[in-house]
Amino acid sequence: MIHIALDAMGGDDAPVETVKGAVLALKDYPITITLVGREDCIRKELSKLNQKESDRLRILHASEVVEMGESPAQSFRKKKNSSLRLGLDMVKEKVADGFVSAGNTGAFMATSVLVLGKIPNIDRPAIATVLSTNNGPVLLLDIGSNVDCKPHHLEQFALMGHYFASLVLKVENPKVGLINIGEEEDKGDTLVLAAYPLLKKLPINFVGNVESRDILTGKVQVMVCDGFLGNNLLKFGEGLIDVFMGFFKNDCQQSWISKLGAMLLIPALKRFKKKFDYEETGGAPLLGVDGVCVVAHGRSQAKAIKNAIFRAYQESESNVIATIQEAVSQ
Amino acid sequence: MIHIALDAMGGDDAPVETVKGAVLALKDYPITITLVGREDCIRKELSKLNQKESDRLRILHASEVVEMGESPAQSFRKKKNSSLRLGLDMVKEKVADGFVSAGNTGAFMATSVLVLGKIPNIDRPAIATVLSTNNGPVLLLDIGSNVDCKPHHLEQFALMGHYFASLVLKVENPKVGLINIGEEEDKGDTLVLAAYPLLKKLPINFVGNVESRDILTGKVQVMVCDGFLGNNLLKFGEGLIDVFMGFFKNDCQQSWISKLGAMLLIPALKRFKKKFDYEETGGAPLLGVDGVCVVAHGRSQAKAIKNAIFRAYQESESNVIATIQEAVSQ
């Protein structure tokens, strides 16, 4: 059975929501889970849920916690007994098949590279995110771990994205696009201009440049960009969603007609929100480190944790890392 | 009276919508307009609207048109009698105070630099766009004319943005932010890290790094970024707005309750859309060339043209270019 380690202490609402999320995941998926963190805290949360340790739900005590604002380098040096470190150690030692944390993302990334190492021939791991569209899932990478990319980094992101979309998202022959300010081959900044021919040579379905207006149309299934752009796009998207939701909260409260209209739309709006909800997307895979690592949103509630665990389970089951390893070794 | 030259032939629906837009603008603003383009076409449109040439509405015949896909360099060399060229010549010769075109943006930018020249000490003109937020207007620049920026380009964008927001948008002591993946001073790629200290030294209200989720909150009034990022953000925003509108067009058509709800929201939605509509924002000022140039959206209808003319009028009246000239000469 696939075994996932969960950082029970990571995230704004840990350990309450992390423990809840683990319990939910156990009900739905054929997995075992180790909760890594302060044993007393975890036991307290489990008892609130009338749950006990079992063969499928274990606890690994970790006396330290990496805080949100902590420097990745410092936490690595000083906190050798943090839940983050011990969880990653489990993956390193093949005791666990994957690790999920909603804690300090910078520390997660840095520590995962130091503990697990990178896949040979991958220079920089990327954080990817799965977006939902009316035409199926779209993988966007990198969303923030790499600023100042070189062309061959984008090439590696494209290759990893191809395999993740194929094997984990189960998209047959996924279309891979390079995010650019125009679709013409001669458009773009120095980076994408130099990356284009590299992506073209890869044994993947590279469809060329794609404008960012098409990120959510599902025109392609993998969108490649450097982490500075990807992170900004994602955050701008979050800001825009807030503006849209503000329409229902504010603009629609100005007359009883629009209040009634907004009320009637609540069920449709709930379905719509679900499509774009990070709680549903299942966490962001960290691709390029030598082990399954899934970054959950800092604000994750139980459902988001559950879905991030599911992502780690899917990723472990699909053997995507071994496939990437084989592909880049050639 | 301020005199605006309008490229009557530029844009997807020119000259029908451009001529209509000019007529609308004349009604609302104390300006004179010269319609630059094929005289017979323009006269035909004017007669449809029961309008004639007058002291306030003149025609300048231009035998050529720069097409949408045309190379900027080629059109400059070969089409010396295009509406674009003759309109810019009018500004150069001080016959007109400003020029508006919804035609080929690349050609507009390149030709404006070649005809009008750049403001001394400004290395690269930027295209700016005015976004509406619940907390007033926000100027975002550059949105696409400059990929591969150097730190001093961002510095110049910040300075030009400051003066545009102060004098044209009438924001007192506008807050200027640098778009980045985090607010901390040590975050970002090489470009923004190097630009930060330059912006800090400017005699403007620089508030530091701002995340792109805050572009639409109105937290600052000027948002500075390189053209590759700005263009991508804008296009991603357009894509997201399509998704949001798709909610009303598709998701709300699945039951009679949600259909009714959507119907009741039409007035509120119209007001909401107006806030984000490029038709209302009045075109994108091209800052850094030595003359007032406003880029209108290629899909501009009459109202968008009217608002772009108004933007050119405001810009001329505010004397913002002379102020920028003075500021950068120091």
Instruction: Pick A235's closest partner by Cβ from B148, B211, B232.
Output: B211
Backbone angles phi, psi at B245, to 5 degrees: -65, -30
Residues B142 and B269 in one domain: yes
Alpha carbon of B275: minimum distance to chain A alpha carbons (Å): 11
Lowest mean pLDDT among A266-270, B261-265, B273-277, B280-284: B273-277
pLDDT band at A154 (very low <50, low <70, confident <90, very high): very high
Residues B92 and B2 in one domain: yes
Q: Is residue A223 part of a domain?
A: no
Residue A278 token pair = 């990070």
Tell me the chain B residues in contact with residue A251 when contact means C-beta distances shorter than 8 Å. 268, 271-272
Instruction: Pick A233's closest partner by Cβ from B216, B233, B241.
Output: B233
Residue of B nearest to A267 (CA): B258
Summarize the confidence of residues B215-225 as an average pLDDT.
95
- Going by their DSSP bridges, the two strands B175-179 and B98-101 should be labelled as unpaired
Tell me the chain A residues in contact with residue B235 when contact means C-beta distances shorter than 8 Å. 181, 211-213
Tell me the chain B residues in contact with residue A212 when contact means C-beta distances shorter than 8 Å. 232-233, 235-236, 239
pLDDT above 90 (res A274) = no
Rounded distance between C-alpha atoms, residue A143 and residue A222, angstroms: 13
DSSP A185: T
Beta bridge partners, A31, equal A2
Q: State the residue for tokens 């666990």.
A: A96
Rounded distance between C-alpha atoms, residue B250 and residue A270, angstroms: 14
Q: Which residue has the higher pLDDT, B280 or A119?
A: A119
Summarize the confidence of residues A58-75 as an average pLDDT.
93
Rounded distance between C-alpha atoms, residue A13 and residue A305, angstroms: 11
Alpha carbon of B246: minimum distance to chain A alpha carbons (Å): 10
Rounded distance between C-alpha atoms, residue B196 and residue A269, angstroms: 41
**Domains identified in chain B, total number:** 2
HSE, CB side, 13 Å, CA atoms: give it for residue A313: 19
Q: Does A212 contact B258 at a Cβ distance shorter than 8 Å?
A: no
Mutate to test the interface with B, among A71, A148, A181, A256 (most CBs of B within 10 A): A181
Tell me the chain A residues in contact with residue B247 when contact means C-beta distances shorter than 8 Å. 268-269, 272
- Name which of A227, A34, A49 is nearest A124 in CA terms: A227
Residue of A nearest to B134 (CA): A243
Q: Is residue A9 part of a domain?
A: yes
Beta bridge partners, B99, equal B5, B293
pLDDT above 90 (res B228) = yes
Q: Is residue A45 part of a domain?
A: yes
Q: State the residue for tokens 């229902």.
A: A248
CA distances from B133 to A246, B46, B111 (A): 11, 36, 32
Class of residue B93 by CB neighbours under 10 A (exposed 0-12, middle 13-18, buried 19+):
exposed
Residues B67 and B39 in one domain: yes
- By the 8 A CB rule, do B126 and B288 touch? yes
Tell me the chain A residues in contact with residue B268 when contact means C-beta distances shorter than 8 Å. 247, 251-252, 254-255, 258, 261
- By the 8 A CB rule, do A63 and A38 touch? yes
Q: Is residue A185 part of a domain?
A: no
CATH of the domain at A4: 3.40.718.10
Q: Is residue A324 part of a domain?
A: yes
Alpha carbon of B35: minimum distance to chain A alpha carbons (Å): 31
Residue B252 token pair = 């709300």
pLDDT band at B251 (very low <50, low <70, confident <90, very high): confident
Tell me the chain A residues in contact with residue B239 when contact means C-beta distances shorter than 8 Å. 212-217
pLDDT band at B278 (very low <50, low <70, confident <90, very high): low
Alpha carbon of B180: minimum distance to chain A alpha carbons (Å): 7
Residue A2 token pair = 């696939």
Lowest mean pLDDT among A84-98, A141-155, B88-102: A141-155
Summarize the confidence of residues A135-143 as an average pLDDT.
94
Residues B112 and B154 in one domain: no
Q: Is residue A299 part of a domain?
A: yes
- pLDDT attached to residue B270: 83
Alpha carbon of B152: minimum distance to chain A alpha carbons (Å): 17
Q: Does B236 contact A241 at a Cβ distance shorter than 8 Å?
A: no
Residue B216 token pair = 């639409």
- pLDDT attached to residue A166: 97
**Cα Rg of chain B, angstroms:** 20
- Name which of B103, B132, B172, B163 is nearest B287 in CA terms: B163
Domain ranges, residue B226: 130-279
Lowest mean pLDDT among A61-70, A265-274, B285-294: A265-274
pLDDT band at B122 (very low <50, low <70, confident <90, very high): very high
Q: Does B264 contact A272 at a Cβ distance shorter than 8 Å?
A: no
Alpha carbon of B28: minimum distance to chain A alpha carbons (Å): 28
Residues B255 and B134 in one domain: yes
Q: Does A239 contact B213 at a Cβ distance shorter than 8 Å?
A: yes
Task: Render B56-86 in DSSP notation, one character per residue.
Answer: SEEEEE--B---TT--HHHHHHH-TTBHHHH
Question: pLDDT of B135-163, one tens digit each?
Answer: 999 999 999 878 999 999 999 999 999 99
Three-class DSSP labels, A230-291: HHHHHHHHHHHHHHHHHHHHCHHHCCHHHHHHHHHCHHHHHHHHHHHCHHHHCCEEEECECC
CA dihedral for A38, A44, A47, A48, sign (positive or negative): negative
Question: pLDDT of A209-257, one tens digit each?
Answer: 999 999 999 999 999 999 999 999 999 998 888 888 888 888 888 888 8
Task: Return the SS3 of A139.
Answer: strand
DSSP A214: G
Question: pLDDT of B27-61, one tens digit each?
Answer: 999 999 999 999 999 999 999 999 999 999 999 99
Q: Does A269 contact B257 at a Cβ distance shorter than 8 Å?
A: no
pLDDT above 80 (res A276) = no
Q: Does A232 contact B233 at a Cβ distance shorter than 8 Å?
A: yes
Q: Does B268 contact A246 at a Cβ distance shorter than 8 Å?
A: no
- By the 8 A CB rule, do B311 and B127 touch? no
Residues B327 and B192 in one domain: no
Residues B310 and B245 in one domain: no
- By the 8 A CB rule, do A12 and A104 touch? no
pLDDT above 70 (res A278) = no
Residues B178 and B239 in one domain: yes
